[in-house]
Structure 1
Amino acid sequence: MTSGPSIDTPAAVGAIIRARRQDRGLSQQTLAVRAGVSRKFLVDLEAGHERAELGKTLAILAALGVSLEATDPIPKGADHDPARRDYAQTFARLIGSRDFEFAIKMLADYATASLKAGRPLLQRSPRLKDPHWSAALAGITNYTAHRLGQPAPSWTRRIKPLTEAWMPAESYRNIREPMKQLTRSETPEELAAMNVFIRERSLGTA
């Protein structure tokens, strides 16, 4: 009897769950309701969040018919490997489908993967139609380049700062003024320079 693939990282769990959910044509909200968890928890889990609670994770796996002895192969390829992911394509797809909550998780994923790779992974302009997300990616690219002691890719200099302050999280939920003030105070200067405000801790790189 051959054993199934090893599920030994949060990213592997998230990849299996996201792939199985999409194969079944389920939205994140539908699966979250079936498993009795919040959509936010499922979003975090699919993004490979390392602090996901085991009990809730097992409930989601059970709702999908997946156990820790999964017979599903762990998804491979660039889409499931942060170091090889085509972030330009990923963001174009997520923004086009208005999956802003997951897009914000991918901002953090992009920052973390770039730091691990030792260079900003977006060396060329993502050419997004939405100036808000273009500014956010330029700011994060500048931020990671600065953290690595490198010059930022030249495309970031062609992206203009937004004319009004923007918080990506406002794409899908209301943010109260105290949290807005905290976010502004904890946003890296490279992002603030683009008039985009995300707490550094939310980038998962601090």
Structure 2
Amino acid sequence: MKSPSFTAASLADKIRTQRGALGLTQAALASSVGVSRKFIVDLESGKETVALGLVLKVLETLGFEEPGLRLIRDRGAEIARDFQQTLHAQDYEYALRLVSEYCAESIEQGHPLLDKSPALEDAQYQVTLAALTQWIANKTRTPIPQWAADITRPAEPVFLLEKLYPVGEKMKEVIRAETPRELQELNVWIRERSLGTT
């Protein structure tokens, strides 16, 4: 006899696993859903007496969608992979295009899509994406992801264009004048109009 696709225990395991993957505590998840922490504890332990409406709110908060509780596509992970592959290939022209696409898509979605560090080997792009993530968060009035808030300002200014060709001092002055505050604070210099959002 075939077992049902979902049992209270298997659903509890999926919820617990996804909460952990998102870095949420039981208390944080409970707060965002508007339930008690005890409700989350009962749900994650497979207790079958919890209210279905509240279970659905928990699932929605964790990013599950119908049918079959598929996880909503993690666009941030896809963006991080795109940057990793592009920078590994040293395709800096395409990497600049990805910067613009990341900004535009995040603004359209209403929050920074890189909620986790992309863990790039290229330190200039790592700090640039952190600065852009801060800029997007401020522009969309959403919290700054912790990885971006914790980034260290580099001593040397970051001009990504210099990975393609030399940038003269006059052009650097123009770029500096048109760089958003969040980027300036991290010593990253990109004109706002180059971010694909204006």
TM superposition score normalised by structure 2: 0.60
1:174 pairs with one of 120, 145, 166: 166
How many angstroms does 1:202 deviate by?
0.3
1:122 pairs with one of 79, 104, 114: 114
1:127 and 1:105 map into 2 onto residues whose CA distance is 19
1:154 and 1:160 map into 2 onto residues whose CA distance is 12
Alignment of 1:52-63 (within 5 A): none
2:193 pairs with one of 198, 201, 205: 201
The residue type equivalent to 1:205 in the other structure is: T
1:89 and 1:191 map into 2 onto residues whose CA distance is 23
The residue type equivalent to 1:161 in the other structure is: R
The residue type equivalent to 1:160 in the other structure is: T
**1:191 lines up with 2:183 in the alignment:** yes
Alignment of 1:1-206 (within 5 A): 86-206=78-198
How many angstroms does 1:157 deviate by?
2.0
- Maintained 8 Å contact 2:77/2:114: no
The residue type equivalent to 1:129 in the other structure is: E
1:131 and 1:89 map into 2 onto residues whose CA distance is 16
The residue type equivalent to 1:95 in the other structure is: L
1:74 aligned partner: none
The residue type equivalent to 1:117 in the other structure is: Q
How many angstroms does 1:85 deviate by?
6.9
Greater RCO (CA < 8 Å, at least 6 residues apart): 1
1:52 aligned partner: none
Residue deviations 1:15-56 (CA, integer Å, cap 9, x gap) = xxxxxxxxxxxxxxxxxxxxxxxxxxxxxxxxxxxxxxxxxx
Q: What's the secondary structure of 2:138's corresponding residue?
A: helix
Larger Rg: 2
Q: What's the secondary structure of 2:80's corresponding residue?
A: helix
The residue type equivalent to 2:171 in the other structure is: M
1:180 and 1:195 map into 2 onto residues whose CA distance is 12
TM superposition score normalised by structure 1: 0.58
2:154 and 2:122 map into 1 onto residues whose CA distance is 11
Count matched residues: 126
1:135 and 1:195 map into 2 onto residues whose CA distance is 9
1:190 and 1:125 map into 2 onto residues whose CA distance is 17
The residue type equivalent to 1:90 in the other structure is: D
Work out the percentage of aligned pairs sharing the same amino acid: 35
Residue deviations 1:108-148 (CA, integer Å, cap 9, x gap) = 10000000011100010101122111100001100010000
How many angstroms does 1:84 deviate by?
7.0
The runs of at least 4 consecutive aligned structure 1 residues that moved more than 2 Å come to none
